[in-house]
C-alpha cells in the first residue's frame, strides 16, 4: 500500500515537471516569435499613403540637383563654390558642391604640375 502511494507520487511529480517543461518551452517560443516579429507600426501605413507625394518630392529634388550640377560645371572659382557651400542647406547639395571644389582643386594642381614640368624641361 505504501509502495503504490510512492509510485503514484512519483508519477504525479513527473507529470508536473513535464507540464512545467512544456510551459517553459511555450514561453520561450512566444518570446522568440515576439523578438523576430516584423514591426507592425502605423508609419508603414503613413508611408503608403504619402508615397506619391514623397516620390514627387524626390523627383523635384533630383531635378534641382541636376540643375545645380550643371550650374557648378560653369563655375571656375573655388571662392564662388565655397560661398555656395556655405549657403547650401541640403546635404546632397553640399555633397555636389564639395565634389566640384575637389575637382577644381585637382585641375588646378594638375595645371600647376604641367606648367612646372614644362618650365623645368626648358
10-residue stretch averages of pLDDT, the chain, 122 residues long: 71 92 89 66 58 81 86 87 88 88 90 83 73
Residue 52: its pLDDT value, please? 76
Residues 102 and 70: their CA atoms lie apart, in Å, by 16
Residue 46: its pLDDT value, please? 57
Residue 37: its pLDDT value, please? 56
Residues 103 and 40: their CA atoms lie apart, in Å, by 46
* 28 closest CA partner among 18, 17, 20, 16: 20
What would the 3-class secondary structure string for the chain be? CHHHHHHHHHHHHHHHHHHHHHHHHHHHHHHHHHHCCCCCCHHHHHHHHHHHHHHHHHHHHHHHHHHHHHHHHHCCCHHHHHHHHHHCCCHHHHHHHHHHHHHHHHHHHHHHHHHHHHHHHC
Residue 118: its pLDDT value, please? 79
Residue 1: its pLDDT value, please? 45
Amino acid at each position: 500500500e505504501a509502495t503504490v502511494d510512492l509510485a503514484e507520487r512519483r508519477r504525479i511529480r513527473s507529470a508536473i515537471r513535464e507540464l512545467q517543461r512544456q510551459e517553459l518551452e511555450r514561453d520561450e517560443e512566444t518570446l522568440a516569435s515576439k523578438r523576430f516579429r516584423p514591426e507592425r507600426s502605423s508609419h508603414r501605413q503613413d508611408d503608403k499613403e504619402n508615397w506619391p507625394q514623397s516620390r514627387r518630392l524626390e523627383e523635384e529634388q533630383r531635378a534641382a540637383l541636376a540643375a545645380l550640377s550643371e550650374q557648378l560645371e560653369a563655375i571656375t572659382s573655388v571662392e564662388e563654390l565655397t560661398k555656395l557651400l556655405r549657403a547650401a542647406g541640403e546635404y546632397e547639395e553640399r555633397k555636389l558642391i564639395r565634389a566640384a571644389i575637389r575637382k577644381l582643386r585637382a585641375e588646378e594642381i594638375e595645371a600647376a604640375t604641367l606648367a612646372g614640368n614644362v618650365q623645368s624641361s626648358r
